[in-house]
Every structure is written in structure tokens, then in C-alpha cells.
Homo-oligomer: A and B are copies of this chain.
Amino acid sequence: MNDSGDAGAKRARGRPRKSPDRTDDPRSHIVAAAARAFAQHGYEATSIRSIARDAGVDPGLVRHYFIDKPGLFAESLQLPARPDRAVRAIVSGPRENIGENLVRFLVTTLDEPIARSRVLRIIHTALGQEFAATLLRQFLQKEVLTRIVSGIDDDDAALRASLIASQIVGLIVARYGIRIEPLASASPDVIVSRIGAVIQAHLDDSLDKGSVPSE
């Protein structure tokens, strides 16, 4: 209904629309511009400012709708939650429960079918297209993994964060994607306990790493 006619009325001041197929909703302009920018330049090299310029709006409007770059990223990929915020909240809670709380957040989020299919689609795309892998990697490293180990003052923290990431990605793919049993039909409590223990062991550095040097 709204894709032609008096469409110019709400245009940002002095900014001609660059593409005739845009709607007049500035929010969707911004999301579309963000998706293009993230895909083309990756997560790190994209800024709120450059997305605002591309969408023909003020950076303040981008912040008004999406607050910050991870918020805009989550929206552009239709993520079911803000992983960066969830992790921040979990890490600020009891230290000995971080592993279980992370897994509970994940399982609670992904036991919902739409959320699950979106997250699986993101991993699927990352395994098929280089730019998508780069985008996902940069987002996870910058906004999620560094937060998970933010309480650890140790040369080993980044490696531990990436080991935790491997377990989380593996849980998602094995439980919800390939659906390996009995993992796929185990109750959330069992998953929280068993996978949470792995993550907590990385955080506490309590695994017996054998005789191999830790580099």
C-alpha cells in the first residue's frame, strides 16, 4: 500500500532516497543499511555513523531505535535475543553459576522454534559463505566471548573463551541441527547441568589438561 505515491513526505531532510524500492519507515531503512554494511565490511569496520549515513538518517535516530551496534546487529540478523546483554547479566551474577546460567539462557532461547531456526540458519550461512563466517566471528569475539571471560585476568582467557564458544556452537548444532540423541531430547535441566559443567570447568581452569603444554 505504501510503496509509491506520497512517499517523499517523511524523507530525512535534504537526503534523496537512493533506491526506489525502499519503504518510508526509517527503522527498516536503517536495518537494511545495517545488513548491507555488516555483510560488506564485517562487524568491526561498520559503525553506527556509517550505517546512519547510508540510511540517510541521523546517527541519533539509529541509537534511538537500536541503542548500540550489537543491538543493530542483533536486529539485522533477527537474533532472538541480545547475546551480549545476556552474557553481561550472567557474568555479573554468581561466578560459580556462570556455566549453568549461560547454558540455561541458550536452551531457554533455542527451545522456541522460530528462535532456533534463525540461529541455525545463521550458522548454516556461516558454513557456506566466507563473509557470513567473518561477520559472525567478529561479532562473537568482540561482543560475546570477551565478556564471558571478563572476570579472568589471565593470558589464557581468550583461548578459554574460544573453547567455551566451541562447546556452545557444538551444543546448538548437535542438539538442534543434527539432533543427536539422547542430547536432542534431554531435558533442559540435564543440558544445563552437563554442558554447564564443561563451560564452568574452562572458566575455573579445573580440567586436567594432561602433560601437553598450554602454549
Known contacts A166-B170, A182-B159; A126 and B177 CB within 8 A of each other: yes
Mark each residue of chain A from 44 to 70: 1 if its CB lies under 8 Å from any CB of chain B, else 0.
000000000000000000000000000
Mark each residue of chain A from 86 to 106: 1 if its CB lies under 8 Å from any CB of chain B, else 0.
000000000000001000000
- Is A79 on the interface with B (CB-CB < 8 A)? no
Known contacts A180-B145, A193-B210, A212-B189; A166 and B175 CB within 8 A of each other: yes
Docked CA distance A179–B42 (Å): 14
Q: Are B180 and A209 in contact (CB under 8 A)?
A: no
Known contacts A133-B177, A173-B123, A178-B140; A166 and B165 CB within 8 A of each other: no
Residues in A169-207 with C-beta less than 8 Å from chain B: 169-171, 173-175, 177-184, 186-187, 189-190, 192-198, 200-201, 206-207
Q: Are B167 and A192 in contact (CB under 8 A)?
A: no
Q: Could you say which residues of chain B place their CB within 8 Å of the CB of A192?
A: 212
Closest B residue to A179 using CB positions: B137
Q: Are A213 and B189 in contact (CB under 8 A)?
A: yes
Known contacts A173-B170, A215-B190; A162 and B137 CB within 8 A of each other: no
- Grouping DSSP codes into helix (H, G, I), strand (E, B) and loop, the A interface class, with mixed when no group exceeds half, is helix
Q: Are A210 and B190 in contact (CB under 8 A)?
A: no
Residues in A19-75 with C-beta less than 8 Å from chain B: none
> How far is the CB of A211 from the nearest CB of chain B, in Å?
8
Closest B residue to A198 using CB positions: B198
> How far is the CB of A178 from the nearest CB of chain B, in Å?
5
Q: Which of B100, B165, B193, B201 is in CB contact (< 8 Å) with A174?
A: B165
Q: Are A210 and B170 in contact (CB under 8 A)?
A: no
- Is A127 on the interface with B (CB-CB < 8 A)? yes
> How far is the CB of A119 from the nearest CB of chain B, in Å?
11
Q: Which of B123, B165, B200, B201 is in CB contact (< 8 Å) with A183?
A: B165
Cross-chain pairs A/B with CB under 8 angstroms, 6 sampled: A126-B177, A127-B178, A140-B180, A166-B170, A166-B175, A193-B209
